[in-house]
Structure 1
C-alpha cells in the first residue's frame, strides 16, 4: 500500500510539473488571481488527475489483488495459529486433593462381664405319677417310648388323685392299639387322659420263632398324684 501511495504521489508531482504555455501547472495555479479564470484550469486538472488515477489503478489491479490475497491468507494463518496455541495452552485442571484418611482412634477394650452359668432349678408343680401292672408274666413287656400323661385341669383344681388300669394290644411293630379302661379310681376322672397317653407309647415287640408277633391282654396301671399332697 505504501508503494502505491508513493507512485500516486510521484505521478501528481509529475503532473504539476508539466509545462502548459511555457509555465508548469503548479506555477499557473500560483498566478491565478480570479476565481472565474481558475475554473477551466481546475476542470482540466481534475480530468487529467482522474485519467491518471484510473491508469494507475488499472495497472496495479493485479498487484493489489495478490497483495490483498496475501494479506487475507496471512491473516487467516495467523488466526489458525492463534487458535492452535489457544487450544494447546488450555490450563490443566487442578488435581482434586485427596482427603486425608481420618486418624485412627484407639478404642479401649472394655472387659466383658463374666457370666457364671448356674443351673436354675424349676419348682415341681406336681403331676401324675404312674406305676405299672401287667397280667402277663413275661418280663420283656417293657415300654421303649413312654410319654407322661396330662393331668386333667378339673382334677388339679379340686386336688383329686387317682389311678387308671388300662388294657391294650401290642402289634408286631410295638405300637399300642385297642386300649380300654379296666378299672379306675375315682371313675371317669382320669380315663380320657390315660387312653390318650397309652396310645403314644411304644413297646418292644414279642419275638416267636424269629418273627415279631402281636401281644394282646397287656395291662398297665397309670397313677395320678399331686406333688403337694405328699
Structure 2
C-alpha cells in the first residue's frame, strides 16, 4: 500500500524536477551566447629577419711589396802599386815592373803583356832578421803566348833565403799575352822587384 503511494507521488515530482532542470539549462545556454565574430581580435605576427640597409663597404687590402736587399757595393779598387799585404808579421813589397813594359791603349791593336793574377810570396819561417830590416829580391821571367810565366830566375837578392818562395809565387802568375798584329807572342825579360820588411 505504501509503495503505491510513493509511486504516484514520486513520479509527478520527478517529472517536474526534470522539466525545471531542462528549462534552467536552456536559459543558461541562450543567455551566455557571444558573438565571436564581433569581439574577436585578429593579431598578425610576421616573423622574419630584419635587414638594415647599410652603404656598401669595400675593403681594399694594400699589399706592400717586399723590399729586396740591395746588393752590397763592389769593393773599392786597390792600386797594386801601393798594395802592401802583411804576412806573418812581414810586409812584402808589391811587384814593380821595369820601365820598358807598355800597358797598351784601347786605340792600338798591339799591346804588351799585362798581369791578371799575381800571388804574393810568403815570408819563410826559416829566414831570420832584425826588426826594420829590408830584404830585396829581383826576379826576371818570360810570358809565353798562353799567358803563363816561364823561365823565372833571380837576378839579384840580398838574402837567398827568400829566393825559393819568390820563384814559386811568380810561377803562379797569369798574364794577358803580348799582342802584335793581332797575334799572341812571347814576352821576354819581364822584371819584378820584391821587398820584405820585418815589422816591429
**Greater Cα radius of gyration, structure 1 or 2:** 1
TM-score (norm 2): 0.45
Relative to its length, the structure with more strand (as a share) is 2
User: Which of 1 and 2 has higher RCO (CA within 8 Å, sep 6+)?
Assistant: 2
TM-score of the superposition, structure 1-length normalised? 0.40
- Greater share of residues in helix: 1
